[in-house]
Chains A and B, each alone.
Chain A
């Protein structure tokens, strides 16, 4: 305890300036509360005026004149609103930053804070990154309350538990841990709580900071060990499997923990198609994984070291196409890969109106003109196009991104050691994957049993 909120009523005004600065959206209204002086404090940016008048001002004008004390007033007029009594300016500032209104009455040394809220929010929209033909057309929004409501509307059970955390003491960024307490493993829950608590008091502004704090390996890791998800149906499915979801204020995605390698090959759509189809699509995604990762490397290895392993007719065709080219095959491949990556990056950053035009023009220019000019061979363009298309087969963008990066490593090894280098690279990659952990769960394991090691 740090003493009383105020010594004399008159010094309060300077205290406000001392505690809250001169920010213009801080509102302090002097009113009369049953012939006592009273302050109402809030941030106009966090409390909507409609909510304020219906939830607080209307009851205030009706009941404030009759109430003996603040508690009596609250019990009579604000019965359905979440409230808290505070005796500390730091806590008051914190509550004000959480969409609350504070009421200070002369003669009472506890401030009443009530949650009003009501600022404008984006409404629920369709998922944009993880699209699916079937399934609910609901994506998470930036508000935690909305996200929890989206979850609870499907999981109407008392075992759906929600724990709130204030991630930083100064910048109040909230995070919630959502889980089903009858299916989640207690060790996982314990670990998740510890890791979120470890983030408290640190600067957590974006979901990415939270991700870094939550994952196992603090150093750079190539593959995502936590899954970012914006779909309601897949989050619900994950919860039912005994995982937890973390939402953060201001991020329209949930973090699913833990996530292992195989999870990134599942798509939300898998739940809506027949089992055989699902198996086929999953197999296709695994193929896409290996094509994205290995195809350019294998091409380099075959062309530079082991051209004898491809059928002779194909080898003659490739050799004929490559006969007059100015660059070695590695440089050639890297050039086209670089062009493709730039095109992809450019089309992501472009405004939506011109985005389409850019990809078409880019494809025409890079694909057609470069081959026509005889700078690169058409085989390389085919390889790069196939690789690029395969990298779009994944539903999780982070995962595709890491494969795209590793592809260049494989090109490098293959240019030194050929196919043998690609083989060794595969072994190292899988050893790396086996070594990874996601919340203590092995990231890559053949049997489906998940043992905490």
Chain B
């Protein structure tokens, strides 16, 4: 997706700032889970808001995860119809993609985490090849970046706080739904590794936007639907290595599968927690539902992008990613202090 287009040549600074915010966010989300001694965010809701309130909030979060999952599915399907298979209907592409995601979820969390490790290595390899080819191609201009922050930091802030901080960094909230069940008590090693991987992925996003900017310049980047794919398409070395966008699309697909799986898994963990049904029996109905939502979520690509980068972050992401976790944190801190005082009074 096209991030932070409104700040032109400084677009790469925004994810860089957000990376550090994102590291803090991730630490904060895990801190809530660890400090409350609950396994998932759903049991945390119940603990802090009681049965009824907790259930309502939990269902809201499940819906939210499914919705984000559907949006990502749509994003990726739009990429495929636009860049790879213009002649194949969107429904068909989404359906096949969903079938793949279903199988990946069906093999269980231990296995799909191993699979994602392999994906990680593959994406890293493709990214290195891509960067090497961009450099070898030579069609880039660092002057596109100058002057760096020519208008001061002011113009960067809206897009930082209303777009990039929520998407993708705030979406790390999905990990609160299952991190506690995978790693009981969340030892410091796990939290450190998580924060470190947020740093790495944030730097990757920054590097990607940098490459888009130095190959195209801000004005073309602003208008491209998928600037990274276009950048790959532009590469031509000796009239032989041409059009390597398929490699990039493959990497994007792996990333999309990981993201969709994590959101779907977060939602399914919630459903499992509330209904007690078997995880594997829930995969097919809930992912079919997600597919339907992803099809009806917007009428066309432009609407999808406008809603996804304008409306959603402000009205859906901010309350669910920041306001509620902040309230939970305050509640937990008050409770623990209260408990401490209680202990003292007993003594």
Give A residues with C-beta under 8 Å from B.
305-306, 308-311, 313, 417-421, 423-424, 427-428, 430-432, 434-435, 442, 444-447, 453
Contacts and interface: CB of A to CB of B under 8 A. Distances in A.
A424 B97 contact: yes
A431 to B, nearest CB: 5
Nearest to A426: B250
Contacts of A305: 84-85, 87
Given A418-B85, A431-B111, A423 B96 contact: no
A427 B106 CA distance: 13
Contact of A424 (B100, B114, B242): B100
Given A427-B100, A427-B257, A434-B111, A311 B242 contact: yes
A65 to B, nearest CB: 72
21 contacts: A305-B85, A306-B246, A309-B245, A417-B88, A418-B84, A418-B88, A420-B93, A420-B96, A423-B250, A423-B253, A427-B100, A427-B253, A428-B103, A428-B104, A431-B100, A431-B104, A434-B111, A434-B112, A446-B114, A446-B117, A446-B121
Nearest to A431: B104
Q: Count chain A CB atoms within 10 A of each CB in B88, B114, B250, B253 and give the residue with the most.
A: B114
A405 B88 CA distance: 27
A311 B243 CA distance: 8
B246 A419 contact: yes
Interface residues of B, number: 34
B199 interface: no
Q: Nearest 3 pairs between A and B by C-beta?
A: A435-B107, A434-B115, A309-B243
Contacts of B96: 417, 420-421, 424
B234 to A, nearest CB: 13
Most chain A beta-carbon neighbours within 10 Å: one of B111, B239, B240, B253: B111
Contacts of A421: 96
A100 to B, nearest CB: 49
Contacts of B93: 417, 420
B118 interface: yes
Interface in B76-90: 80, 84-85, 87-88
Contacts of A309: 242-243, 245-246
Contacts of B111: 431, 434-435, 442
Contact of A417 (B85, B112, B253, B257): B85
Contacts of B240: 311
At the interface, is chain A mostly helix, strand, loop or mixed? helix
Contacts of A446: 114, 117-118, 121
B85 A420 contact: yes
Contacts of B99: 424
A420 B97 CA distance: 9
B110 interface: yes
B254 interface: yes
Interface in B267-324: none
A420 B257 contact: no
B209 to A, nearest CB: 24
A305 B205 CA distance: 30
Contact of B80 (A308, A420, A428, A430): A420
A431 B117 CA distance: 11
Contacts of A453: 110
A444 B113 CA distance: 12
A95 to B, nearest CB: 48
Contact of A430 (B87, B118, B250): B118
A444 B246 CA distance: 25
B84 to A, nearest CB: 5
Nearest to A445: B114
Interface string B222-255: 0000000000000000011011011001100110
Contact of A420 (B84, B107, B108, B115): B84
Nearest to A413: B96
Contact of B104 (A306, A313, A423, A427): A427
A419 B242 CA distance: 16
Given A420-B85, A420-B93, A431-B115, A311 B100 contact: no
Nearest to A306: B84
Contacts of A430: 115, 118
A428 B92 CA distance: 17
Given A431-B112, A446-B118, A419 B107 contact: no
Nearest to B253: A423
A417 B95 CA distance: 12
Contacts of A428: 100, 103-104
Contacts of B250: 423
A418 B87 CA distance: 11
Contacts of B114: 434, 442, 444-446
Contacts of B108: 435
Contacts of B87: 305
Contacts of A427: 100, 104, 253-254, 257
B84 A434 contact: no
